[in-house]
Structure 1
Amino acid sequence: MACLISTMTQTCVQLFSVPQFSPTDSWYPPEEGFINHSLNHYLFHEDCTHLRVSHFPSEVLAPLFFKHIRILSLECTTDNIDQIQKIVDLFSVKHLKFGSSVRCRPFNDLLKYAPNIYQLTMDRKTLVQIIDSPPDDQKVYEQIKKLNVEDTILNKDIDQICQIFPKLEHVSLSVKEREDIFPIFNGLHYLTSAIVSWTHPFNTSPSIIDEYLNQNSICTDGTYRFHASSLHVWID
């Protein structure tokens, strides 16, 4: 029950005596110069649960079809749903992540064919692309329960987030001003936890923080952790 890793001039080879010790994350297409080997010709991609897609080759790489992906990370622009369906069983995907500034044109189709996705991670550019999608597209995504935005959003984005993701239970995002947290808590009625940070930190005593949160009806029925530039909230 051991893993032997040997490095050669051009290639790094992993030899697994027990396939269960193999990595559960993978790149598509596979990284050049990196090969997994099994003593019994084990198909490593069948146990992969996290797939990172760097680009879509002109021809699908047989027999690579990923059946058990829970986290799908798109690191490239996607033009149509067929590109993804050829390599991934979308029904198993729970968490969809977008790389920096990645455009996903078939976002509606993707959620339609992946009904179990409940968590999204993206930057603001991708978020705005979804918000600004054509008006005839579906613009309410009730299946999404968790949203992570990796850079600072604007005040005008918050109302849109509340409208198109009305069933959010958890958010993690950054705003410019401390006051921008108000519409987040007022507009998301299913929220059970939140991590919100803001650009300009400040020094305030705990008693002032308590008064500030109570006056603005934030976390009156839960627990919070307050820092100079962030607020963590757990709502009962």
Structure 2
Amino acid sequence: MKRIIGAAVLACVLASAVTACGGAGEGPPLGEFAAISKKETDAPFVLTAPSSRSPAAFVYTSSNPAVATISGATVTIKGVGQTEITAAQPGYESYGPTRTSTTLTVSATCVSPATVANYACTAPVSPGATAALTDGLIYARVLHTDTYAHATDFCAGTVIDSVANWRLPTQAELARLVASGKIAGHNWQLGKAWTSTAAGGANGAHMVLDLETGDAVSRTDTDVAYVSCVRS
């Protein structure tokens, strides 16, 4: 009988690097809890629990609620950045408590030509990307076209020349800029550019202004025009 017990103990010790023996106070080893990558616009998602020999339910926490919160096993994304997600398993019968953690990285959802850099949408870097022109406002170089919604999102959500908090200019602001003649020499595309000014009497339309002539016309938001971003 003593030899049989000794063999069982030895087997448990040899197996302890792989699985729990169920001894009092021992927490079972946990399986992989892989790193997670998401976009800031992704829907809530359910965590996949790491494997464990213990049947106890896992309790999940997020170290950075500004990035993600957790209710039960459902994660809701709150912002861009990183947070450590901890999966804790309480003790159950002969199994002690145990835990593991992983990193959730949430990146910004960018509008082209912006790409993600340090979790933020960032415009391509180029010399002379911005210039202070009129009214104490700083304009970003006009280079690409897009729909009104994408133009608005690009300006509001993109870091341009290392600075955030851009917006579309109003029709009046862009008209004064054209009249000043200060666009010359900044390598802008001189076509019709979106403004934030709604077209009178037309739903789903905004004014575009010709950066060469200063003429303004209404354009449906689903059409494309050049994107001009401005900030104070």
TM over 0.5: no
* Bigger Rg, which one: 2
Greater relative contact order: 1 or 2 (C-alpha under 8 angstroms, separation 6 or more)? 2
| The structure with more helix, counted as a fraction of residues | 1
Question: Could you state the TM-score of these two structures normalised by the residue count of structure 2?
Answer: 0.29
Question: Could you state the TM-score of these two structures normalised by the residue count of structure 1?
Answer: 0.28
